[in-house]
Amino acid sequence: MGLGVTLIAFVMAVAVYLTLRRDARHTWLPMATSLFDVTLISAANFSYAFVADPHQATNSKVTFDTYFIALGATCLRYDKRVAFVAGTAAMVQYAASLVFIYNRWPLEMSMSAESVFNPYGRFQWSDHISRLILLLTATALCVFVVGGIQRQRKLSNADALTGVFNRRFFDDYFASEMERAMRFKSTVAIAMIDVDYFKQFNDRFGHAAGDVALRRVARALQLAVRRSDLVARYGGEEFVVLFREASLDQAVELVERIRQEIQSVPHTIGDARPVHITVSAGVASWPEDGPTIGDILATADRRLFVAKDSGRNRVEGRAATPAATTMRFA
C-alpha cells in the first residue's frame, strides 16, 4: 500500500512538472495540487482499515505526520486560501474517516490481552481530538506565514503610492513574458500611458490632490484590464500595461476603451468644480515592432510622445513616420 501511494504521488509530481515546464499557467493548479496531497494521505490512511488493521488506520503515526508536510508545502503556493482550504480538507477528511471506522469496526474493546498488546495501540477519542487540534494549529500557522509572505512580496513589488506593481517588477515580468512569447510563437503588447497636463494639475490643486488622481487612474487601469494583464507605475505620472497574448490592434482597442473610461469619470477636488482627467498612450507589440524588449519599449514611448504632440487624450498604435498611417482616436 505504501509503495502504491508513493507511485501515485510520483506520477502526479511528474504531471505537474510537465505542465509547468510547458509554461501553462493555470490559476487552479496550486489549489488542486494541495487538495490532492491531503486527499492522497487521507485515502492511504483510510485504506489501512481494509488491508491491515482498523487500529492502524486510526493510530498511524507515520502517515498522519505526513499531513504536516503537505500543509507546510501550501506555504510555497503563496496563497492564504490554498493553505486554509487544504488544512480544512485535512481535518474534515481525517474526522470523517474516524467516524466511519469507529462505526464499522469495534475499536473500543475491553482491557483484554488483544487490546493491551495491539501493536497499533488502543482507540481513544481524546487522542484524535488532540490530532485534530494539531491540524487546526498547523493550518493557522500556515495561513499566518503565507499572509506575512504576501505582505512582504507586496511591499517589494508594489508601488507605494498607487498599489500597482512597480517598475522593477514590470521589467522582470516583461522579460519572462517575452521569453514565453518567443518560445510559443505568441504575441505580447505593452501600452505606455501618461496622465495629461499633470504638472499643471499639481500646480493648481496641490500634490495631495495629484496623489489622489494618480491612485484613481491606477485603480481605473486595474479594473479595465483582463486578469492576465499587468499594470505597473513606470515613473511619475506614467503607467505601463502589459497585455499577454494580444496583437497590436487588440491592445490599441483595449487601451482606447481605458482612455474613454478615465475621461468619462469626473474627479471632485475640494470645493472646486469636478475635473476630468485624460490620458495619452502609445502602444507597441512583439513581434510587429521589433525583436527585443528595448525595441518594444522605445516604440511605445515614441508613440506616446506622438499622441501628446498631436493634442493629447488619444492613443497611438502605429509607427510615427511620414509613410505610415497613424491610428488616432478622438
Q: How many CB atoms lie within 10 A of CB 204?
A: 13
Can you read off the three cell numbers belonging to residue 239? 503607467
Of 326, 324, 286, 284, which is closest to residue 307 (Cα–Cα)? 326
Give Dmax (Cα) for the chain.
Answer: 98
Can you read off the three cell numbers belonging to residue 33? 495540487
On the question of a cis peptide bond just before residue 287, with omega within 30 degrees of 0, the verdict is yes
Contacts of residue 257, Cβ cutoff 8 Å, sequence gap at least 6: 224
Separation CA 186–CA 176 (nearest Å): 13
- Burial (Cβ within 10 Å: 0-12, 13-18, ≥19) of residue 26: exposed
Question: Which backbone phi and psi does 235 adopt, to 5 degrees?
Answer: 155, 135
Single-letter residue type at 314: R
Catalytic residue among 237, 238, 253, 256: 237
C-alpha dist (Å) from residue 158 to 76, 143, 232? 20, 21, 8
Eight-class DSSP state of 74: G
237 is catalytic: yes
Of 81, 64, 82, 63, which is closest to residue 73 (Cα–Cα)? 82
- Helices 29-51 and 2-21 cross at an angle (nearest 10°) of 170
Instruction: Kindly compute the dihedral angle of the four CA atoms of residues 12, 13, 14, 15, in this order, to the nearest 10 degrees.
Output: 50
Residues with a known catalytic role = 237
